[in-house]
Amino acid sequence: MTASIPLSAQLINLFASVILLLAFAMLAQRRMLPLINLFAYQGLALCMSTLVVAVTTGQHHLYWSAGLTLLLKALLLPWILHRLVRKLHVRFDVESLINIPTTMLVGIVLVMVSFNVALPISQLSSTVSRGTLGIALATVMLAFLMMITRTKAIPQVVGFLAMENGLFLAATSATYGMPMVVELGIALDVLVGAIILGVFFFQIRDQFDSLDIRHMEKLKDG
Amino acid sequence: MPPLLPIDLLLIAVAAWLLIGLAGLAAPGNLRYISKRLFPLGALVGLALGATALNFLGSGPQVAVLAIGLPDLPFHLRLDNLTAVFALLLGFASAGISVYAAGYFRKGQGTAPGLLCLEYHFFLASMLMVLMADDAYAFMVAWESMALSSFFLVTTDHKHAEIRSAGYLYLLIAHVGAIAILLSFGVMTSGTGDYSFANMREQHLSPFWASSAYLLALLGFGAKAGLVPVHVWLPEAHPAAPSPVSALMSGVMLKTAIYGLMRVSFDLLGSQPLWWWGVVAMAVGLVTALFGVLYSTVQSDMKRLLAYSSIENIGLLAVGIGLALLFRSYKMPVLAALALTAVLYHCLAHAGFKSLLFLCTGSVLHATKERSLGKLGGLIHPMPWVAWLALVGVIASTGLPPLSGFVSEWLLLQAFLFSPGLPHSWLNMVVPVSAAVVALVAALAGFAMVKFFGIIFLGQAREEALKDAHDAGPWERVGLVWLAGLSLALGVLPSTIISLIDAATRQLLGTGLADRMKENGWWMLAPISPERASYQPLIFLAVITASLLLGRQLVRRLYHGRVRRSPAWDCGYVFQGPRAQDTAEGFSQPIRRIFETLFRMQSHIPTIRDERPYYSVKVEDHFWHWLYLPLARLVTAFSHLVARLQGGRIAIYLLYSFVTLIFLLLVARP
């Protein structure tokens, strides 16, 4: 059974599962700096999986994608986030609205749902990496869950960026990546988004003396 | 180049008004340029419009297509006799009001003069477009522009919170009405998707759908006209607006709603009238008229008094429309024509005298800075022009001969007197009661007008400052004299004018009154036959003038002939002054007591132990407490339920997207 699966597909599945594992790790991670490191590892794993797909299929633009991913998601964005955390002095533990074990259980349910949902779609696909579609969807869901359960602003941004990782994985696995222009555009959007959010962090902290987004409930009128 | 048709001239008038409005933006702060150049130009356009419409009356309909608006959806326009009657009203009334406005607007009144000029002329142009529209799309665009421009005019003095809230109420009810009108048009297309009026005339709706369209139109146009219970905006918006704007809204804009109601019920739904439509319109009209006149008698603010009086007049118009519908459904075209003529005549008359009265309050307001009747009095001495011209308006408004109000109310009552011919015993019993209510309304309107004129202009000045009040300026006088002249002309030349507006009745009902009246000569008005009833206004005018002059001479000759001014109430009471005169509240006290249950009153009556005794009474609208406040509370409660969704918490918002995403993924599986 195992022999029938080519090595490249096995590698891709390996990296995909690493990404999923890292997503769970991020969900469970309470501290800020390790969270960012986990995000960087996820970017690295994503880069590796893209590289494998590129080597297997010989698609040139996927090399570019992989390089861009490495540069942006494994190096530049984690560095920006590190700097932010240092500047804002927010190394403290991350508080979550729901306790971690419950979050993990919800995460497992989400993974099952995602696989269930992705199954008919991946059967339609003919790519080498089609098996990872469920993983990609699960990564998106887990990142989303992280955004919901965290109360501080920085983990929310990390969740947002991790969601983009999941989407990217889905794109490579289902269709060998999006056209280069789209990918460049998305990469730029993510970068700009991170920078704008960084500016917002300073504003939020100035306004509320804290990065706890629960303070923003005061903003609604009435 | 083909000769210009009247419809082209009307379009030129629209364009001219728009251009004048835009010209105001060229120098928005230059009051002199705007008021002394642009407003008189606008008045000239109005005059030209009136003359064109007058000239057109009696000709066949003309159509035009204006390729503006959405692609493939041009404006269809049509000029027929019904449009012409109302365009005549718009042109002549707005001419007087614009001339008056040239002298009225001063510096430092909220909105900049240039902007005001734009809104004002845009308002005029959109009213004309409403009258000319021949498809639902053009109609609604014009209708909404009219509502919006008048909203901005109402809130000219937007620095005051109560003016802003009055404007908001107006806009709200205008939109409820607009939705009802749109739905009504939608029903009338009966699903063909063609929104032109020509198509609506072709449709034969089932009685249920025709009635729905009619009732929706009654609600929608009633909201603009001020029929009970959607009248509440009127007494708020009219005092809030500057006086020329109140005059324009009350005198002209309310009539566009009457025009719309007539267009729908006689023209678009003309093929299948049901008898009970008339009864509904009559019932609503009677309630409105009685309500309006009762509330107008107890007001202490002169513009609110006039606003309620407008509600009363709109009620009378609705009664007339109802009566005409009733007669038409029983195939009695001559009587229907009589009732419809009364309605059209009253539209013209009301446009004249109510604009005149609102403008007079504007002059009083400028001279005294006071709107409350309790602080006015004796203004006939410092302001003779305004006072005497207001007297003309007051007499016309009470329906006394020989002025305009008498003719229309007399025609309406004549229509009632012929109603025993109806082949329906139940109606035959109800209609005379309605006639009695109309008579009561006319009498109470007289009471309200005596109060209006007497408290403001007669007696002695209640405040010291009133002695320095200045009379209206030359521009204002011209405007007032013009409107008073219209009221007089409508009063003394009824036969001539009826033969003009006859074209509109003939168009809607297929018959008119003019043939019958030709044999009587122009000086005599006898709508059905001279044996039944006739009215010779000129003889009336001659007799009244002669007896007045004679009485004056007799008093001069037989009595001492000198004018003496002495304390009016000098019975040994030491501390008497102008304040001892009858007040506005005191004057209407009997009405307030007799109809106590119809008002919602909060009064403070001093006891003998009060250190500083005072009397105050506040009259409020029952509808406000029974209908509008519960409705508002319901809406608020519902909004609070919706607001729960908006927790203001990012996690909750994210959860919404998350749940939606999962739901969609699960639902949309292949």
| Helices and strands (H, E) in chain B, number of each type | 26, 4
Mean pLDDT to the nearest integer, B196-208: 87
Q: Measure the CA–CA gap between B368 and B284, rounded to whole angstroms.
A: 38
Candidates A148, A151, A211, A220: best to mutate against B (most CBs of B within 10 A) is A148
**Least confident residue range of B223-227, B435-439, B508-512, B632-636:** B508-512
| B31: pLDDT strictly greater than 90 | no
CA–centroid distance for B645 within its chain: 44
Instruction: Report pLDDT for B272.
Output: 72
Q: Measure the CA–CA gap between A43 and A154, rounded to whole angstroms.
A: 17
With residues binned 3-state (H G I as helix, E B as strand, rest as coil), the percentages for chain A, rounded to 5, are: 85, 5, 15
Q: Measure the CA–CA gap between B131 and B257, rounded to whole angstroms.
A: 10
Q: What percent of chain A has pLDDT over 70?
A: 85
**How far from B147 is each of B7, B98, B116, B173, B401, CA to CA, in Å?**
24, 19, 15, 10, 35
Q: Which residue in B643, B648, B654 is closest to A147 by CB distance? A: B654
Mean pLDDT computed over every residue of chain B? 87
Cα dihedral value B411, B417, B420, B426, nearest 10: 90
Contact indicator for A103, A114 with CB cutoff of 8 Å: no
| A177: pLDDT strictly greater than 70 | no
| Of B267, B303, B262, the residue nearest B89 (C-alpha) | B262
Instruction: Report pLDDT for A40.
Output: 93
| B525: pLDDT strictly greater than 50 | yes
Q: Which residues of A touch B662 (CB under 8 A)?
A: 110, 113, 141
Q: Which residues of B touch A97 (CB under 8 A)?
A: 651
| Of B403, B354, B500, the residue nearest B51 (C-alpha) | B500
Residues 101-140 of A with CB under 8 A from B: 110, 113, 117, 120-121, 137
Higher pLDDT, B263 or B461: B263
Q: Which residue in B646, B651, B670 is closest to A148 by CB distance? A: B651
Q: Which residues of B touch A112 (CB under 8 A)?
A: none
Q: Which residues of A touch B661 (CB under 8 A)?
A: 144
Q: Which residue in B643, B647, B665 is closest to A117 by CB distance? A: B665
Contact indicator for B376, B541 with CB cutoff of 8 Å: no
Q: Measure the CA–CA gap between B518 and B532, rounded to whole angstroms.
A: 16
| Of B490, B525, B495, the residue nearest B92 (C-alpha) | B490
Question: Any CB–CB contact under 8 A between A141 and chain B?
Answer: yes
Output the six-digit token pair for A216. 């923003």
Question: Any CB–CB contact under 8 A between A221 and chain B?
Answer: no
**Least confident residue range of B437-451, B512-526, B617-631:** B512-526
Output the six-digit token pair for A105. 């259980």
| A222: pLDDT strictly greater than 60 | no
Question: Any CB–CB contact under 8 A between B543 and chain A?
Answer: no
Confidence of residue B573 (pLDDT cuts 50, 70, 90): low
Higher pLDDT, B319 or A60: B319
Mean pLDDT to the nearest integer, B378-390: 91
**Least confident residue range of A166-175, B168-177, B300-309:** A166-175
Looking at CA atoms only, how far is residue A3 from chain B in angstroms? 31
Q: What is the DSSP letter of B4?
A: P
The string of pLDDT tens digits covering residues B639-649 is: 888 888 877 77
Question: Any CB–CB contact under 8 A between B644 and chain A?
Answer: no
Question: Any CB–CB contact under 8 A between A218 and chain B?
Answer: yes
Instruction: Report pLDDT for B549.
Output: 93
Mean pLDDT to the nearest integer, A18-32: 89
Q: Measure the CA–CA gap between B261 and B346, rounded to whole angstroms.
A: 15
Q: Measure the CA–CA gap between B326 and B419, rounded to whole angstroms.
A: 10
| Of B492, B453, B484, B489, the residue nearest B356 (C-alpha) | B484
Q: Are strands B600-604 and B616-620 parallel, antiparallel or unpaired?
A: antiparallel
Q: Measure the CA–CA gap between B142 and B128, rounded to whole angstroms.
A: 8
| Of B64, B38, B53, B63, the residue nearest B91 (C-alpha) | B53
Looking at CA atoms only, how far is residue B583 from chain A in angstroms? 45
Higher pLDDT, A192 or B230: B230
Contacts of B4 (CB under 8 A, 6+ apart): B12
Q: Measure the CA–CA gap between B466 and B365, rounded to whole angstroms.
A: 11
- Across the interface, whether the CB atoms of B649 and A148 are under 8 A apart is answered no
Q: Which residues of B touch A219 (CB under 8 A)?
A: 648
Number of A–B residue contacts, CB under 8 Å: 44
**How far from B501 is each of B315, B363, B412, B537, B665, CA to CA, in Å?**
21, 33, 15, 18, 68
The string of pLDDT tens digits covering residues A98-150 is: 788 888 899 999 888 888 888 777 777 666 666 688 888 899 999 989 888 88
Write out the H or E segment, with its range, that includes residue B217.
Answer: helix B207-225
Candidates B646, B654, B669: best to mutate against A (most CBs of A within 10 A) is B654
Q: Which residue in B643, B658, B665 is closest to A148 by CB distance? A: B658
**Nearest-CA residue of chain B relative to A124?**
B670
Contact indicator for B214, B277 with CB cutoff of 8 Å: yes
Q: Which residues of A touch B648 (CB under 8 A)?
A: 216-220
| B72: pLDDT strictly greater than 80 | no
Instruction: Report pLDDT for B570.
Output: 67
| A2: pLDDT strictly greater than 50 | no
Output the six-digit token pair for A87. 């500047």
Write out the H or E segment, with its range, that includes residue B78.
Answer: strand B73-79
Q: Which residue in B643, B648, B661 is closest to A217 by CB distance? A: B648
Q: Which residues of A touch B655 (CB under 8 A)?
A: 148
Q: What percent of chain B has pLDDT over 70?
A: 95
* 3-state secondary structure at position A91: coil
What residue type is B284 in one-letter code? Answer: V
Instruction: Report pLDDT for B332.
Output: 84
| B254: pLDDT strictly greater than 90 | yes
Q: How many CB atoms lie within 10 A of CB A112?
A: 12
φ and ψ of B572, to 5 deg: 85, 0
Q: Round to the nearest angstrom and report the end-to-end CA distance of chain B.
A: 67
The alpha-helical segments, DSSP class H, found in B27-71 are 31-33, 39-56
Q: Which residue in A120, A148, A219 is closest to B654 by CB distance? A: A148
Residues 86-125 of B with CB under 8 A from A: none
Q: Measure the CA–CA gap between B302 and B373, rounded to whole angstroms.
A: 6
Contact indicator for B382, B367 with CB cutoff of 8 Å: yes
Q: Measure the CA–CA gap between A103 and A148, rounded to whole angstroms.
A: 10
Contact indicator for B217, B260 with CB cutoff of 8 Å: yes
| B46: pLDDT strictly greater than 80 | yes
Instruction: Report pLDDT for B372.
Output: 87
The string of pLDDT tens digits covering residues B404-429 is: 899 999 989 888 887 777 777 777 77
Q: Which of A69-73, A149-153, B288-292, B534-538 ranks highest by mean pLDDT?
A: B288-292
Q: Which residues of B touch A141 (CB under 8 A)?
A: 658, 662
Instruction: Report pLDDT for A128.
Output: 61
Q: How many CB atoms lie within 10 A of CB A197?
A: 19
The string of pLDDT tens digits covering residues B466-501 is: 888 888 888 999 999 999 999 999 998 888 888 888
Instruction: Report pLDDT for A1.
Output: 41
Looking at CA atoms only, how far is residue A99 from chain B in angstroms? 15
Q: Which residues of B touch A110 (CB under 8 A)?
A: 662
Polymer length in residues for chain B: 670
Model ipTM?
Answer: 0.79
Mean pLDDT to the nearest integer, B101-118: 82
**Nearest-CA residue of chain B relative to A121?**
B670
- Helices A7-28 & A100-124 angle (0-180, nearest 10): 150
Instruction: Report pLDDT for A4.
Output: 67
- Preceding peptide of B402 cis, ω within 30°: yes
Q: Round to the nearest angstrom and report the end-to-end CA distance of chain A.
A: 63
Q: Measure the CA–CA gap between A80 and A86, rounded to whole angstroms.
A: 10
Confidence of residue B81 (pLDDT cuts 50, 70, 90): very high
| B258: pLDDT strictly greater than 90 | yes
| Of B122, B139, B104, the residue nearest B34 (C-alpha) | B104
Q: What percent of chain B has pLDDT over 90?
A: 44
For chain A, give every domain's residue range: 2-219
**Nearest-CA residue of chain A relative to B665?**
A117
- Helices B233-240 & B161-188 angle (0-180, nearest 10): 130
| B116: pLDDT strictly greater than 70 | yes
Question: Any CB–CB contact under 8 A between A222 and chain B?
Answer: yes
Instruction: Report pLDDT for B567.
Output: 67
- Across the interface, whether the CB atoms of B658 and A144 are under 8 A apart is answered yes
Q: What is the DSSP letter of A76?
A: I
- Across the interface, whether the CB atoms of A216 and B648 are under 8 A apart is answered yes
Question: Any CB–CB contact under 8 A between A219 and chain B?
Answer: yes
Question: Any CB–CB contact under 8 A between B642 and chain A?
Answer: no
